Chains A and B, each alone.
Chain A
Amino acid sequence: MDQPKSAERPVLSLEDASKSFGAVRALQGVSLALFAGEAHALAGENGAGKSTLIKVLAGVHRPDAGRVLVDGEPVTFHGPSDARDAGIAVIYQEPTLFPDLTVAENIFMGRQPRRSFGRVDHRSVRDATQALIERLGVDLDPGQLCRGLSIADQQLVEIAKALSFDARVLIMDEPTAALTGAEVARLFGVVRTLREQGTAVLFISHRLEEIFALCQRVTTLRDGRLISSDPVDGLTEDDLVRRMVGRDLDELYPKQPARIGETALAVRRLTREGVFTDVSFDVRRGEIVALAGLVGAGRSEVVRAVFGVDRADAGDVHVAGNKLPAGSPTAAMAAGVALVPEDRRQQGLVMELSIERNIGLTGLDRLGRGGLVRRTLERGRAADWAVRLQLKYNRLSDPVGVLSGGNQQKVVLAKWLATEPGVLIVDEPTRGIDIGTKAEVHRLLSSLAAEGLAVLMVSSDLPEVLAMADRVLVMHEGRITAELPRALATEESVMAAATGRTAGGEKAA
C-alpha cells in the first residue's frame, strides 16, 4: 500500500524541499507527490509549514533547497503565473473575485475572447463559462455579479476559473472553513467530479472528518518537517491527531461536571426584524449552552444583539436580574457580559496594535487613575493572561497580527476574561484554529464554567457542540426550533432541528 500508483508518474511533486525565512525554518526536507485522480490531504497544526508548502507549489516562494517537479521534470517557477501555466491552481480560503464583475467576466478576466476592433465577445465568454459550470455540475448564472454570492459560490467561481486554465492540480487551502454543511457537501461533490476527470487535488483542512471523507492519502507536517504520508484507509482520527501534535491528546473535548447555579443571562422575546424572531432562553451559572444551527440561521445575530453591538427591535436582555439597555455594548460590559466575536480579525482584535494594548482595550478605565493608563498595569494585565492561557508570543509589544490564528484567539479570550465577566458569549470559538489550541480552548471553557461562569457558545462544529454543551439550543431561520438537554442532543436531533424538520426535543417557549 505504500506506493499504490507506483506505475504512474506524479503530476506534481516536491522533492526534499527546504525553505527558511530568516531564522525560521518553515520547511525542512519535505517531499510530497500528487497523482492524477487522487485527493491528497495536507494535515498539520497552524505553523506546521502547510502554507509555505502551498506557496512553494504555487510559485509564490522558491525553495532554498530541493526541487519542484511537473510530470517528473524539474521546473523552476519564477512566479505564480509560471505555476498557473504549468496547470497548478490554488483556491484560497477567501476568494479574491472582483465583486462588481459577473461570474463570467471574473473567470475570463484579462483574456476574454475578442471580436473585431478588440471588442469583448460577451457571447463566447458566457458560453464558455456555462460549459465550465456544467462540468462542475453546479447551478450558477454566468451573468450574475459576484457581489452577493456566498463564499461557497465564490469558491466555485474560483474553481471554474482554475478549470479554464486547464488546471491539472487543484490546491485548496482550507476551503471549507467558512462553509455550511450543505455547501461542504456540494464542494466535495465538485471535487470528486474533478478527481474522476483526472485532476490531482491537494486539500487542507482542520476538520479531520473532511479529510477522511474526501481524501485517499494524507501527508502530515509538524514544525516544518514531514512526519508521514499514508493512505487514509486504515488510519483513525486519533492516529492523525497524534501525528499532527506529536503527542496524545488526553481528550479533545474535556468536559468537567459543573454545578449549575442561578440564572445569569435571561433573554426574553428578543426580535430583530428580518433577522431573528421571538428568541427566549436562559443561561445559568456553571452552564455551557450551545447555540447550534446552520450558518445564516441568525445565531451570531442573536448574540450580537444580546451584547448590544446590534440593537434589537423588541425584547429584553437581563443579566443577573437587571435589564440591559438596548444597543449598548458598554452597558453590557459593565453588567459583566463578554463577547468573543465570530470574526477575529475584524471584530475581535485590532490587528495593528500590540498584544498588550489589545488585552488592555477592554479595561481602559481600570488601568490607572483619572483616565490615565499606567503601562505597568497594562503590561501586567496582559502578562497575567498570557501566562494563564499559555499564549505563545515573542514580546507583548508585538502587533497581534503576527500571532498564529489560535494564539490570536487566545488574545481575544484574554481581553474578555480580564474583564472578569459573569456571562461569557463565544461565537465560533475554535473556527480556523489548530487542533492543539482547540483542545486548550475547550478545556478553558469547561473550567471557567466549573468556576461558575455562564457560557453561551455559538458553534457550527457539531462534535464540539455535542461534547461541550450542557444544553443545546437549535436555531432555524431566525427562530429557536429546539432546546435539547445534553442527554438528548445527538447529531441527528440537532441537524433535524437545524434544517427545520421537527426534532425530538421540546419547543422553546
Chain B
Amino acid sequence: MSTKSDLSRFLRWDVAVGILLVAVFATGAGTTEGFATTGNLSFALNDIAEVAIIALPMTLLVVAGEIDLSVASMLGLASAVSGKLWESGWAFETIVPVVLAIGVLGGLLNGWLVTRVGLPSLAVTIGTLTLYRGLASVALGSNAVTDFPETYARWTSDTNTVLGILPYPFALFIVLAAVTGVVLHATGFGRSLFATGAQEEAAYFSGIRVKRIKLLLFVLTGLLSAFAGIVFTLRYGSARADNGQGFEMLVIASVLLGGVDFDGGKGTLGGAIAGVLLIGLLKNLLILNDVANEVQVIVTGLLLVASVLTPRVIAAALERRHRRAAAAV
C-alpha cells in the first residue's frame, strides 16, 4: 500500500534481532571481563555449533510450515549409536556413514508420517522425540563412552581454529549456512518453500510437489541432527544417550527469535542465524557471570515466548493498519 507500511516491512524483525545481537555483544564486552576475548568467543561459537547446524534445516522446515521437535533426540541417538559402535570396535570411518544413515531413516519416518499419513508434524515429532531418545537409551543405557580418537576429537576443539577465531564445527556451519541461504532465498526450491508455508493448497495447485519437498526437508533435518550428534560427541569426548537434551528448544527458540513465522511462509535465514548467535552469546554471558544453570533455562524459555509473542503483536498492529487501508480500496 503506502510507502510507509512498506517501510515498516523493511524495518523487519530479523534486522531488529541483528541490532539486538550487536547491542548484547557491546554490553557483554563492556560489563563482563573475559567476554570479548578470542578464546572466549571461539568457545562460545563452538558451544552453539550443534544448535546452529540444526537450526539451518529447521529454518527451512518452519518456513515450509512444519516443525521437527525430535532433532535433539536424534542428536542423542546419533551420539549413543556412535558410542556403542566405537565400544564394539568399529572403525570411526564406518561409524559416521552408519550414524548419518540413521539420521536419514529418522527423518524419513517423521516425513512419512507427516506427508503420507497426514499427521501434524508437531504431534508426530513429539512422538519421535520420545522414541529416538528411548532408542538412544536402549543402545547405550546409562553408560558413557569416552575414548574417542584424538585425530577426530581435535577437529572439534575450540582451540583449533580457522582464521584464529572460528572453531571447525562453526566454520562448517558458516559454509552450510551460506548454501542454505542461497537455497532459501535465491532458488526456485526456496520460492516453493515460502509458497508452501504460506498457502499450501495454492502451492500445490501451482504444480509444486508439496509433499515431496516436505519429506526431503524432514530427511535433511534428520541427517544434520545426526551429524550434529557426531560433532557433539567428539566435542565433549563423551557419547551418552542423554546428550543434547532440550536442544530442540534452543534450536526452535533461535529460529523463531530470528523472525521465522511459526505458521510458515515468512522469515529469513539471516534472522535465524542472528537468533542462534543471540542465544549463544546470552548463554555464554550467563556462564561467565556464574548464573545458575536453572536460570539459563528460564532465560531460554522467556526468549522463546518473547520470540513467538512479539512478532504476533507487531503483525497484529500492522494487520490493523493494513486492513484499514485495504477497506479503503
Binding site for B on A (CB under 8 A): 19-24, 26, 47, 51-52, 55, 60-61, 309, 329-330, 332-333, 339, 341, 346-353, 357, 360-362, 364-365, 367-368, 371-373, 394-395, 398, 401-402, 404, 415
Check A22–B206 contact: CB distance below 8 A.
Answer: no
Q: Are B325 and A24 in contact (CB under 8 A)?
A: yes
Which of B182, B195, B324 touches A361 (beta carbons < 8 Å)?
B195
**Can you list 22 contacts pairing A with B, beta carbon distance less than 8 Å?**
A20-B328, A21-B328, A22-B325, A24-B325, A52-B327, A61-B327, A309-B205, A333-B207, A339-B205, A346-B199, A348-B205, A349-B202, A350-B203, A360-B191, A364-B192, A367-B188, A368-B188, A373-B187, A373-B190, A373-B191, A394-B1, A395-B6
Central interface residue in B195, B202, B265, by most chain A CB within 10 Å? B202
State the Cβ distance, A72 to closest chain B Cβ, in Å: 28
Residues of B within 8 A of A22 (CB): 1-2, 325, 328
Q: What residues of chain B lie closer than 8 Å to A346, measured between beta carbons?
A: 199, 201-202
Q: Looking at the complex, which one of A26, A51, A60, A329 makes contact with B207 (CB distance below 8 Å)?
A: A329
Contact between chains at A351 and B199 (CB < 8 Å) = yes
Report how far A332 CA is from B209 CA in the complex, Å. 13
A20 and chain B: residue at smallest CB distance: B328
In the bound complex, do residue A371 and residue B266 qualify as a contact, i.e. CB atoms below 8 Å apart?
no
Q: Which 9 pairs, one residue from A and one from B, show the smallest C-beta to C-beta distance?
A: A21-B328, A364-B188, A24-B328, A350-B199, A333-B207, A26-B328, A347-B205, A361-B206, A352-B198
Mark B170-186 against chain A: 1 for CB-CB distance below 8 A, else 0. Answer: 00000000000010001
Partner of A371, one of B187, B198, B203: B187
Shortest Cβ distance from residue B193 to the other chain A in the assembled complex, whole angstroms: 11
By beta carbon, the residue of chain B nearest A309 is B205
Chain B interface residue count, CB cutoff 8 Å, equals 33
> Are B205 and A398 in contact (CB-based, < 8 A)?
no
* Per-residue interface assignment for chain B, residues 294 to 329, with 1 indicating a CB less than 8 Å from any chain A CB and 0 otherwise: 000000000000000000000000000010111111
Contact A361 B191 (CB under 8 A): yes
Additional A-B contact list (11), CB under 8 Å, known A330-B209, A402-B329: A21-B327, A26-B327, A330-B207, A333-B207, A349-B199, A353-B194, A357-B191, A361-B203, A395-B6, A398-B6, A415-B206
**Within the assembled complex, what's the spacing in Å between the Cα atoms of A346 and B199?**
7
Contact partners of B2 in chain A: CB under 8 A: 22-23
Closest Cβ of chain A: how far from B273's Cβ, in Å? 21
Q: Which residue of B lies closest to A347 (CB)?
A: B205
Q: Separation in Å of the B199 CB from the closest CB of chain A?
A: 4
A339 to B207, CA, bound (A): 10
Chain B residues whose CB sits within 8 angstroms of the CB of A373 once the complex forms = 186-188, 190-191
Q: Nearest chain B CB to A392's CB is how many angstroms away?
A: 10
Tell me, yes or no, whether B204 is within 8 Å of chain A by CB: yes
B interface list, Cβ under 8 A from A: 1-2, 6, 182, 186-192, 194-195, 198-199, 201-209, 265-266, 322, 324-329
Chain B, Cβ-Cβ closest to A55 = B327
B206 contacts which of A52, A362, A365, A371 (Cβ < 8 Å)?
A362
Give min CB distance, B192 to chain A, whole Å: 6
Which residue of chain B lies nearest to A403 when distances are taken between CB atoms in the complex? B329
Residues A47 and B329 in contact, CB atoms below 8 Å apart: yes
Q: Which of B189, B191, B322 has the most CB of A within 10 A?
A: B191
For A47, what are the chain B residues with a Cβ–Cβ distance below 8 Å?
329
Q: Which residues of A contact B324 (CB under 8 A)?
A: 21
Once A52-B328, A353-B198 are accepted as A-B contacts, the answer to whether A329 and B187 lie under 8 Å apart by CB is no
Residues on B with beta carbons closer than 8 Å to the beta carbon of A349: 199, 202
How far, in angstroms, from A136 to B70 measured CA to CA in the complex?
A: 56
Contact status A398-B201, CB under 8 Å: no
Chain A: minimal CB distance from B205 (Å): 4
Chain B residues with CB under 8 Å of A401's CB are 326
Instruction: Identify A372's interface contact among B186, B201, B209, CB under 8 A.
Output: B186
Within the assembled complex, what's the spacing in Å between the Cα atoms of A394 and B325? 14
Nearest-CB residue, chain B, relative to A366: B188
B209 nearest in chain A by CB position: A330
Contact, CB under 8 Å: A21 / B325: yes
- Distance of A348 Cα from B205 Cα, bound (Å): 7
| A333 to B329 CA separation, bound complex (whole angstroms) | 34
A352 to B328, CA, bound (A): 19
Give chain B residues whose Cβ lies under 8 Å from the Cβ of A365. Answer: 188
Among B6, B198, B328: residue with most chain A CB under 10 A: B328
Cβ of B184 to closest chain A Cβ, rounded Å: 11
Please tell me if the beta carbons of B202 and A350 are within 8 angstroms of each other in the complex: yes
* A353 to B326 CA separation, bound complex (whole angstroms): 16
What's the least CB distance linking A281 to chain B, in Å? 22
In Å, the complex CA distance between A21 and B207 comes to 38
In the bound complex, residues from chain A placing their C-beta under 8 Å from that of B329 are 24, 26, 47, 402, 404
- Residues in B whose Cβ lies below 8 Å from that of A332: 207
CB distance from B9 to the nearest CB of A (A): 9
- B44 to A: closest C-beta gap in Å: 34
Set of chain A residues within 8 Å of B182, measured between Cβ atoms: 372
Tell me the smallest distance from the CB of B268 to a CB of chain A, in Å: 14
Give Cα distance in the complex from A383 to B322, angstroms.
24
Residue of B nearest to A60 (CB): B327
Give complex CA distance A52, B328 in Å.
7
Contact partner, B195, options A55, A60, A309, A350, Cβ 8 Å: A350
Question: Which A residues touch B266, using CB under 8 A?
Answer: 352
Give, as a whole number of angstroms, the nearest-CB distance from B224 to chain A.
20
User: What distance in Å separates the Cβ of A29 from its nearest Cβ neighbour in chain B?
Assistant: 16
Rounded to whole Å, the gap between the CB of A343 and the closest CB of chain B is 8
**Interchain CA distance A353-B207 in the complex, whole Å:** 16
- CB B327 to nearest CB in A, in angstroms, measures 6
A86 to chain B, nearest CB (A): 21
On chain A, the residues within 8 Å of B201 by CB distance are: 346-347
Most chain B beta-carbon contacts within 10 A, residue among A19, A51, A361, A404:
A361
Complex: how many Å from CA A21 to CA B326? 9
Residue among A349, A365, A398 with most chain B CB within 10 A: A349
Closest CB-CB distance, A427 to chain B, in whole Å?
Answer: 11
CB-defined contacts of A372 to chain B, threshold 8 Å: 182, 186-188
Given contacts A21-B327, A22-B328, A402-B329, contact A352 B203 (CB under 8 A): no
Q: Which residues of B contact A368 (CB under 8 A)?
A: 188
Find B265's partner among A352, A362, A371, A404 (CB 8 Å cutoff): A352
Closest to A333 in B: B207
Whole-angstrom CA separation of A245 from B171 in the bound complex:
63
A24: B residues at CB distance < 8 A:
325, 328-329
On chain A, the residues within 8 Å of B189 by CB distance are 364, 371
Residue of A whose beta carbon sits closest to that of B212: A330
Q: Contact: A362 with B207, CB < 8 Å?
A: yes
Complex Cα distance, B288 from A283, in Å, reads 74
Expressed in whole angstroms, the minimum distance between the Cβ of B292 and any Cβ of chain A is 42
State whether B206 touches A402 (Cβ < 8 A).
no
- Distance from A399 Cβ to chain B, minimum over Cβ atoms (Å): 9
Question: What residue of chain A has the Cβ atom nearest to residue B328's Cβ?
Answer: A21
CB distance from B291 to the nearest CB of A (A): 40
Q: How far is the CA of A373 from the CA of B322 in the complex (A)?
A: 29
Report A-chain residues with C-beta under 8 Å of the C-beta of B208.
Answer: 330, 361, 364
Chain B residues with Cβ below 8 Å from A21 are 324-325, 327-328
Bound together, the chains give a CA A23 to CA B208 distance in angstroms of 39
Which residue from chain A places its CB closest to the CB of B195 in the assembled complex? A350
Is B325 in contact with A329, judged by CB distance below 8 angstroms? no
A364: chain B residues at CB < 8 Å are: 188-189, 191-192, 208
Tell me the minimal C-beta distance from B64 to chain A in angstroms.
13
Please give the distance in Å from A506's CB to the nearest CB on chain B. 34
Contact of B202 among A19, A60, A348, A402 (CB under 8 A): A348
**Residue from B6, B194, B204, B326 within 8 A of A329 (CB atoms):** B204
